[in-house]
């Protein structure tokens, strides 16, 4: 199936999104109200779903293909704790060569499917010195570095059927959902490793230099990664409520005397160690939404 072009000027039409949404409606009976985007190594969330319908990205009209290790590349529809959900096992990134509209393509499809709440998860490097590897950070705000350079999914023609021309982002991460997540973490024994902070997105695929890490710390970022923010911007434009979770998989290197080096294998190892905790947190949280 043809995916949207990777040309930086390419913008998808309402009809493109509708074609994909209509195809999915015809191929599954589920009508989810919650969508979960699973970050690197976190696709196990989808394994908890019952009454599953699995749809590979390659079969979905106009859907992109995920190319990153740790991303399965499929939509999983089903029930989590009795609530109908759809999970993205694998997201899309700038560094794969996709443009900003392609990266956020699934979010608008979810909106047309009737989704009301988006939960985004990612693996991130810890910038905050008080964070430990394996901590889960509730995202309370973000710094959109690609957006500073004009890479925003809302650039170009605005279709009012999705949202207003100039959407507010000061409330991007839902206050009530964050409160529910904190309550759930306490109930599930995850409170000791739950943090709350600011996520900064860089385009990748290189990990950050020491000077870049120090700059981001100065800017007030607590964690850094290569995803999530474009999807959140598109979701808020559509009026979806958003909850963001970052798994701190490594501490950034901010000392020139350090021999530590960030690597993707460490990221995946940490996610394996913390997978069950994130699954427990998200699955019990969903019952409260």
Q: Considering 66, 71, 105, 128, which one is annotated as catalytic?
A: 71
Q: Considering 72, 88, 123, 254, which one is annotated as catalytic?
A: 123
93 included as an active-site residue: yes
Other beta carbons within 10 Å of 190 = 19
Q: Considering 124, 201, 226, 235, which one is annotated as catalytic?
A: 226
Residue found under tokens 């019990």:
284
Q: Considering 3, 5, 10, 95, which one is annotated as catalytic?
A: 95
71 included as an active-site residue: yes
Q: Considering 17, 21, 40, 173, which one is annotated as catalytic?
A: 40
157 included as an active-site residue: no
- If you count them, how many residues does the chain have? 289
Q: Considering 122, 144, 152, 250, which one is annotated as catalytic?
A: 250
CA distance 258 to 23: 51
226 included as an active-site residue: yes
254 Cβ contact list (under 8 Å, min separation 6): 127, 210, 213, 214, 217
Q: Considering 227, 235, 237, 284, which one is annotated as catalytic?
A: 227
264 included as an active-site residue: yes
145 included as an active-site residue: no
- Cα distances from 286 to residues 106, 140, 177, 266, 281, in angstroms, run 20, 18, 10, 29, 9
Q: Phi and psi for 152 in degrees, rounded to 5?
A: -125, 135
Angle, CA of 184, 187 and 192, to the nearest 5°: 90
Of 282, 178, 173, 285, nearest in space to 236 by CA: 173
Terminal CA-CA length for the chain: 35
Output helix, strand, coil percentages for the chain, rounded to the nearest 5: 35, 25, 40
Under a CB-based contact definition with an 8 Å cutoff, are residues 227 and 201 in contact? yes
96 included as an active-site residue: yes
Angle, CA of 67, 198 and 81, to the nearest 5°: 65
Q: Considering 21, 72, 88, 96, which one is annotated as catalytic?
A: 96
Of 110, 92, 91, 148, nearest in space to 25 by CA: 110
Q: Considering 21, 93, 99, 172, which one is annotated as catalytic?
A: 93
Catalytic sites, residue numbers: 40, 71, 93, 95-96, 123, 226-227, 250, 264
């Amino acid at each position: 199936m043809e995916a949207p072009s990777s040309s930086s000027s390419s913008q998808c039409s309402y009809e493109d999104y509708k074609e994909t949404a209509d195809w999915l409606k015809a191929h599954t009976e589920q009508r989810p109200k919650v969508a979960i985007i699973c970050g690197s190594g976190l696709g196990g969330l989808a394994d908890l779903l019952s009454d599953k319908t699995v749809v590979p990205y390659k079969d979905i009209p106009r859907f992109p293909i995920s190319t990153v290790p740790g991303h399965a590349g499929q939509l999983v529809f089903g029930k989590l704790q009795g609530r109908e959900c759809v999970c993205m096992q694998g997201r899309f990134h700038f560094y794969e060569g996709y443009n900003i509209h392609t990266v956020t393509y699934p979010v608008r499809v979810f909106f047309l499917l009737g989704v009301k709440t988006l939960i985004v998860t990612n693996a991130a490097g810890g910038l905050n010195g008080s964070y430990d590897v394996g901590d889960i950070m509730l995202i309370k705000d973000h710094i959109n570095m690609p957006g500073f350079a004009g890479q925003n999914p809302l650039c170009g023609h605005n279709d009012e059927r999705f949202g207003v021309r100039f959407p507010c982002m000061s409330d991007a991460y839902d206050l009530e959902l964050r409160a529910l997540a904190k309550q759930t973490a306490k109930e599930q024994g995850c409170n000791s490793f739950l943090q709350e902070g600011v996520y900064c997105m860089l385009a990748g695929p290189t990990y950050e230099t020491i000077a870049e890490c120090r700059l981001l710390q100065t800017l007030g970022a607590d964690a850094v990664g290569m995803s999530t923010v474009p999807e959140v911007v598109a979701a808020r434009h559509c009026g979806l409520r958003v909850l963001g979770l970052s798994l701190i998989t490594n501490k950034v290197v901010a000392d020139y005397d350090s021999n530590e080096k960030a690597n993707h294998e460490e990221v995946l190892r940490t996610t394996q160690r913390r997978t069950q905790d994130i699954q427990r947190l998200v699955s019990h949280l969903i019952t409260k939404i």
